[in-house]
């Protein structure tokens, strides 16, 4: 299991995470890549008024970073996701959300809020992207699952999909779970990327 390295200069944030983390972790006083810590998940409080060199160095070394923000915003989250962070979270998130985020990142997934995930998907599925030439992925899914994928490609949330398909959100979640399993995708973002490049995966 990957270790957790916590960088939280603000006392209130550090105290919150000390109480919320449900497993051992190591507090670090500065951000610097060290080979012996290459097996960890870095939990980093972002400070907009401070130089980001340490954070940039971790990302350059492809370290999994969960970035914390006291005032999370879609533009900030998207900017750092494009730079390579694996997760973006409110500094004072609930303990259950913290556990889920760390678990997802350990599994190689991305953890972000729904609005940011939708913005990422919409960016990947925008009109200026070339249409996927291979649609053989549809053969693996039921008709309702195909409809769910098409809605995901439009950047729709589970609630919006449920309303459009006149089903419950629980049913949508079930469809999404089965879709990810059948198409061997880690999460919704990975699903969109795979479908956009299905000709490579179908060989």
Q: What pLDDT is recorded for position 7?
A: 95
Q: What pLDDT is recorded for position 9?
A: 94
Q: What pLDDT is recorded for position 127?
A: 47
Q: What pLDDT is recorded for position 133?
A: 60
Q: Where residue 194 falls among pLDDT bands split at 50, 70, 90? A: confident
Of 51 and 4, the one with more pLDDT: 4
Q: What pLDDT is recorded for position 34?
A: 79
3-state per-residue secondary structure call for the chain: CCEEEEECCCHHHHHHHHHHCCCCCEECCCCCCCHHHCCEEEEEECCCCCCCHHHHHHHHCCCCEEEEECCCCHHHHHHHHHHCCCEEEECCCCHHHHHHHHHHHHCCCCECCHHHHHHHHHHHCCCCCCCCCCCHHHHHCCHHHHHHHHHHHCCCCHHHHHHHHCCCHHHHHHHHHHHHHHCCCCCHHHHHHHHHCHHHHCC
What are the pLDDT digits (tens) for 154-168?
888 888 999 999 999
């Amino acid at each position: 299991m990957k270790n957790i390295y916590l960088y939280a200069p603000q006392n209130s944030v550090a105290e919150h995470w000390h109480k919320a983390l449900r497993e051992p972790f190591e507090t670090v006083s500065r951000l610097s890549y060290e080979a012996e810590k290459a097996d960890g998940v870095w939990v980093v409080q972002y400070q907009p008024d401070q130089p980001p060199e340490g954070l940039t160095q971790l990302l350059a070394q492809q370290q999994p970073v969960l970035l914390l923000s006291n005032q999370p915003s879609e533009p900030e989250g998207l900017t750092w996701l494009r730079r390579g962070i694996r997760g973006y979270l409110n500094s004072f998130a609930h303990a259950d959300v913290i556990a889920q985020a760390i678990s997802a990142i350990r599994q190689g997934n991305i953890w972000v809020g729904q609005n940011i995930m939708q913005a990422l998907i919409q960016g990947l599925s925008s009109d200026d992207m070339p249409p996927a030439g291979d649609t053989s992925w549809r053969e693996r899914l039921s008709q309702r699952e195909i409809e769910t994928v098409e809605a995901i490609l439009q950047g729709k949330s589970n609630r919006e999909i449920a309303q459009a398909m006149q089903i419950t959100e629980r049913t949508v979640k079930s469809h999404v779970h089965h879709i990810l399993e059948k198409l061997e995708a880690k999460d919704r973002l990975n699903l969109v990327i795979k479908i956009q490049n299905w000709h490579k995966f179908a060989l």
